[in-house]
Amino acid sequence: MRVFLVRHAQAIEAGPRRSDEARFLTPDGRATARKVGARLAEEGMRFDAVLTSPLVRAVQTAELMAQSIGFAGVVESFFALAPGAPPRLVAEELASHGQAVAVFGHEPTISALGAFLTGQPSFPPFRPGQVVLLERGIPQWAIRPDSLEKVEVRVS
């Protein structure tokens, strides 16, 4: 099974009149989501399912990347990907969604999921818009959101 772990792209800051849940992507964040999705498409990557945190910035990132990669299915909001949810809840659902599942979330929850899925005590933190591919629980590579370079992932 392939799991694409993705942190949402750059979002506006929370403020006195805007809750964390209502934060949406900046123009740069939207561009990054599209570019990273296009880079995944160049690599021949496809998704069987797209699961996302219900928070606006994660949903927007998921929709933009899914569109860029040519995903024609439904982007599914999944409460267990909201900040602070235990990674076990997501891990239990993954296999029922196909062989290539994209999972969109937040820090530190998305790196905690990476640690859980790899069986490691920790996982490197994600930058906004970063994608890491896990195959059968083993990190294969990451796409850097700024350079679109494919790089090795080291876990400890």
Tens digits of residue pLDDT in 79-93: 999 998 999 999 998
Q: What is the DSSP letter of 28?
A: H
Contact yes or no for 104/62 (Cβ under 8 A): yes
- Pairwise CA distance, residues 57 & 54, whole Å: 9
The pLDDT, as a whole number, for residue 154 is: 84
Q: 85: closest CA among 62, 106, 58?
A: 106
Compute CA distances 139 → 78, 115, 117, 146, whole Å: 23, 10, 10, 20
Interhelix angle 56-69/27-42, rounded to 10 degrees, is 40
92 neighbors 104 (Cβ within 8 angstroms): no
Give pLDDT tens digits for 83-127. Answer: 989 999 999 989 899 999 999 999 999 999 999 999 999 999 999
Q: Give the pLDDT of residue 16.
A: 83
- Give 59's pLDDT tier (boundaries 50, 70, 90): very high
Amino acid, res. 8:
H
pTM listed for this prediction: 0.96
Phi, psi (rounded to 5 degrees) for 97 = -110, 10
